[in-house]
């Protein structure tokens, strides 16, 4: 069973994906990590962010073991990720990696922005997770300030809007809900309540697909 989870930044999709992966015993890929690692590697190498070929080469030669989680979670890494993610050659370089992961014998849970539309249009279950920009910015701001980053909530809201805009308006694989996805709004939900709702949605989709291979 392939579960595709897309949605906006800090909507809760990462936590939801990890919990579903545990619940159904499926491997999980956080595809944003690929773009973050590409962005960080490009910065480290001093690559020209206006040179698509150089950035695609960085993506092709990526070794995910090189990157500590904390390094990939900074606001700077997120900005760099959003920039490289807008480049078609970078997306092409990362596509096969994601598809190969999804098509393991048991299936997989993948979360990102274009899993249901581009990476796995054939996914058994597609979810779109969203929340208001203020709620998402507050969540991400708390996470970052707890880690010692200093930025105001207003700056966080502005950054989030800028990234949403870039992710939504890029030409290649823009961030958009697949037509056949189930929409979950987490604005007023705790993470546990959101996971319960998502699990119910997954069960409903599975129940409607008797031919599916099941969890």
State the residues that interact with ligand DC by CB under 6 A: 9, 31-32, 35-36, 78, 81-82, 85, 112-115, 163, 167
Closest approach of Cβ 154 to ligand DC, in Å?
Answer: 20
Closest approach of Cβ 3 to ligand DC, in Å?
Answer: 14
Q: Give the separation between CA 18 and CA 39, rounded to whole angstroms.
A: 23
Closest approach of Cβ 210 to ligand DC, in Å?
Answer: 30
Nearer to ligand DC, 124 or 167 (CB): 167
Closest approach of Cβ 195 to ligand DC, in Å?
Answer: 18
Closest approach of Cβ 45 to ligand DC, in Å?
Answer: 18
Nearer to ligand DC, 78 or 206 (CB): 78
Nearer to ligand DC, 72 or 206 (CB): 72
Residue of 83, 93, 92, 31 whose CA lies nearest to 62: 93
Nearer to ligand DC, 135 or 163 (CB): 163
CB 23 within 8 Å of CB 16: no
Closest approach of Cβ 128 to ligand DC, in Å?
Answer: 13
Nearer to ligand DC, 82 or 186 (CB): 82
Nearer to ligand DC, 17 or 195 (CB): 17
The first and second tokens of residue 191, run together, are: 């993470």
Token pair 């008797």 in the structure block, residue: 210
């Amino acid at each position: 069973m392939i579960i595709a989870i897309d949605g906006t930044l800090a909507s809760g999709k990462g936590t939801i994906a990890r919990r579903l992966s545990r619940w159904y015993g499926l491997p999980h890929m956080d595809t944003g990590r690929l773009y973050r690692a590409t962005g960080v590697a490009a910065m480290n190498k001093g690559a020209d962010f206006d040179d698509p070929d150089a950035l695609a080469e960085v993506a092709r030669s990526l070794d995910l073991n090189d990157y500590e989680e904390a390094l990939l979670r900074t606001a700077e890494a997120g900005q760099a990720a959003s920039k490289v993610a807008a480049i078609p050659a970078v997306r092409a370089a990362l596509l096969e990696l994601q598809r190969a992961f999804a098509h393991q014998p048991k299936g997989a849970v993948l979360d990102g922005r274009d899993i249901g539309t581009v990476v796995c249009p054939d996914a058994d279950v597609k979810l779109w997770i969203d929340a208001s920009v203020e709620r998402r910015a507050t969540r991400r701001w708390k996470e970052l300030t707890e880690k010692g980053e200093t930025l105001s909530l207003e700056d966080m809201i502005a950054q989030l809007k800028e990234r949403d805009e870039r992710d939504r308006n890029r030409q290649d694989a823009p961030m958009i809900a697949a037509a056949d996805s189930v929409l979950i709004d987490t604005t007023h939900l705790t993470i546990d309540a959101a996971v319960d709702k998502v699990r119910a949605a997954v069960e409903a989709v599975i129940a409607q697909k008797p031919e599916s291979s099941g969890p």
